[in-house]
Structure 1
Amino acid sequence: MDISVVVPLYNEVESLPELTSWISRVMDDNNYTYEIILVDDGSKDGSWDMIVKLKESDPFIKAVKFRRNYGKSAALNIGFEAAKGDVVITMDADLQDSPDEIPVLYRRITEDRYDLISGWKAKRYDPLTKTIPTKLFNAATRKMSGIDNLHDFNCGLKAYRKTVVKNIEVYGEMHRYIPVIAKWAGFTKIGEQVVEHRARKYGKTKFGWTRFINGFLDLLSIFFVGKFGKRPMHFFGAMGTLSFFTGIIIAIWMLSEKLYLIAHHLPYRDVTANPLFYIALVAIILGSQLFLTGFVAELVSRNSNDRNNYQIEETI
């Protein structure tokens, strides 16, 4: 199979007929073999009923329905697991991504041999309250990830080589940083394609201000997981060692100073009266706790196997 189109959706009943018809038309015009995987993330507006109706007339549609809303990352992860195409293309269900971009994305993967092509909506139809924070996040992500050639990490329109989606895990709200996850997994040939951004035709956006806070926290998380996910003791152990020995050095210095004063019959004050005593004590305790945190994190990283366990109500 040439292409799997994975479409996560939440309350997009109005756009689904037009979107699936548009995708099928593009596929037929280019003689692609394909499947459309619709992942209903717990919609409440009748989206699943519409999907069932659409499948009756379109055998290329496959669909998964979550029992409740888990988020876009969960929907993408399940879609990636189900995908069988040599190239996997993701797009949003709100018609702001154009299926007409599929052929060029497919060629960038198959002919230019990229692992991942991320769309860049150079001209956007979003308000400044959305575009300005997005630019800040993209700049921070470029700096922290070292992927300097991407302008828009969060664009929903992306193309992947099949081996990429089968070897990465998307959870929480990490869909914003899939290129970073792919890079940490060893897929380093990542490119960009300017794509059309269309104004929303139906409904309203499902994302609020909380996504910017979550985005920042996810950026820190993905940086930590990418660098230390398989070796958390290196992170916590290094910090613990620094803190512990800083406290020990301060304590030794204070004790040496007191012994020197005693030996020379000079006046001295009790060690506990010196603020440095408490700084040294806190540093030693904190260092010990960081060591313990590192050991616990090592155990968790080796035994966590159900992070992406979602309740699926129905599959067709």
Structure 2
Amino acid sequence: MDPHTFTYSIVVPVYNSVGVVGTTVDRIVETFEAANLSYELVLVNDGSKDGSWEVIAQKARNNPRVVALNLLQNYGQHNANLAGLRESTGDYVITMDDDGQNPADQALVLIDEAMTGKDVVFGRFERKQHAGYRQLGSKMIGMINRRVFAQPPDLVVSNFRILRRDVVDRICASRTAYPYMTGQALMYSSNRSNVLVRHEARQVGKSSYNIAKILKLVLTILFSYSLFPLRLAALAGFAIAGVSFLLGVAYFIRALFVDSPVEGWTTIVVLLSIFNGVTIALLSMLGEYVVRTLNAVSAHDTYHVLDRVKV
């Protein structure tokens, strides 16, 4: 397929990157202009406190191909990406970071791979320029992705990716209260691949993605997209119920042969053991149904747009 027959939307979540986001925008514009590709650049300010909004708003005023969205507060990268996806109009949507670690020219590498018929292409970094704890966090999330979203073992995912419009539409129509772009891209696509891309060191500032946010993402994935924690709790409930029942039987048999010094003590222990065990098992099962119901009805807005700048 000829890449010049399609339009492209580049979505960039922006958070506290006043010192580098202007350069990132300029490089993206230069790259797509030089390649003579039809594009739009959607910049989403995710509650920055350092003047990033003023920078991207001015970029939008100066360039009709640039759109700037200002979110009401910091909702997180995945909500910012979702806002950008819903704003986008391109046949393909590329998501990338605001810090320059995803070189703009590497977006063309993603496009070339997408032209082979893939509906999702993830950038696979030659060498990731991240701290050790972030690489460990990526491995942990990768394990969860393989379990929850059936990520193929030979597929490496990243936030630097290109999505075909039909995949984007499915993600935008999703009713989840906790967007997770990577997992949703895996859920709503069928023909994915990797392509090798560069990953450059951050030139200005430092990443706000810390261990706490990685753990929060892990918990969000587990409790929003998987029944594994509830099933584990249900299994534990049934195990406790079984042990309680056996304990009650043991005390009942003991009472037949050995007199208890306290009248009625054996009866109370047996009844409490059985009823508490059954209660735990029933609560575990009810919890699974509650989560299924919540997932079905969670359709509230997960972000709010405060300002929009487009010439």
TM category (shorter chain) comes to 0.7 to 0.9
Superposed CA RMSD: 3.4
Q: Which residue of 2 aligns with 1:283?
A: 277
- Identity within the alignment, %: 22
Of 128, 142, 152, which residue of structure 2 is paired with 1:138? 142
After TM superposition, the structure 1 = structure 2 runs for residues 206-225 of structure 1, keeping only pairs within 5 Å, are 206-224=208-226
Stretches of structure 1 that go unaligned for 5 or more consecutive residues are none
Q: Is this contact kept in 2: 1:3–1:85, CA < 8 A?
A: yes
- How much has 1:210 moved relative to structure 2? 0.8
1:135/1:244 Cα in 2 relative to 1: closer, same or farther (>3 Å)? Answer: closer
Q: Which residue of 2 aligns with 1:312?
A: 305
1:95 is paired with a residue of what secondary structure? coil
Name the TM-score, length of structure 2 as normaliser: 0.81
After TM superposition, the structure 1 = structure 2 runs for residues 179-198 of structure 1, keeping only pairs within 5 Å, are 179-185=182-188, 187-198=189-200
- How much has 1:283 moved relative to structure 2? 1.4
Deviations 1:140-191 (A, max 9, x none): 533554321233x3x321110111122124977754xx34323334x22221
Name the TM-score, length of structure 1 as normaliser: 0.80
Q: Which residue of 2 aligns with 1:89?
A: 94
- How much has 1:38 moved relative to structure 2? 0.2
After TM superposition, the structure 1 = structure 2 runs for residues 243-262 of structure 1, keeping only pairs within 5 Å, are 246=242, 250=246
- How much has 1:305 moved relative to structure 2? 1.5
After TM superposition, the structure 1 = structure 2 runs for residues 102-181 of structure 1, keeping only pairs within 5 Å, are 102-109=107-114, 111-147=115-151, 148-151=153-156, 153=157, 155-168=158-171, 169=174, 175=180, 178-181=181-184
Q: Is this contact kept in 2: 1:179–1:190, CA < 8 A?
A: no
Q: Is this contact kept in 2: 1:236–1:293, CA < 8 A?
A: no
Number of equivalenced pairs: 298
Query: Does 1:56 find its partner at 2:61?
Result: yes
Query: Separation in 2 of the partners of 1:45 and 1:240?
Result: 48
Query: Separation in 2 of the partners of 1:205 and 1:245?
Result: 47
Runs of 4+ in 1 over 3 A off after TM superposition: 139-146, 169-175, 235-259, 266-271, 273-279, 294-299
1:69/1:292 Cα in 2 relative to 1: closer, same or farther (>3 Å)? Answer: same
Query: Does 1:79 find its partner at 2:84?
Result: yes
Query: Separation in 1 of the partners of 2:199 and 2:291?
Result: 42
1:84 is paired with a residue of what secondary structure? coil
Query: Does 1:32 find its partner at 2:17?
Result: no
- How much has 1:30 moved relative to structure 2? 2.1
Deviations 1:250-280 (A, max 9, x none): 5995699589x5xxxx656667369665443
Query: Separation in 2 of the partners of 1:241 and 1:173?
Result: 27
1:167 is paired with a residue of what secondary structure? helix
Q: Which structure ranks higher in relative contact order (CA pairs < 8 Å, sequence separation ≥ 6)?
A: 2
- How much has 1:287 moved relative to structure 2? 2.0
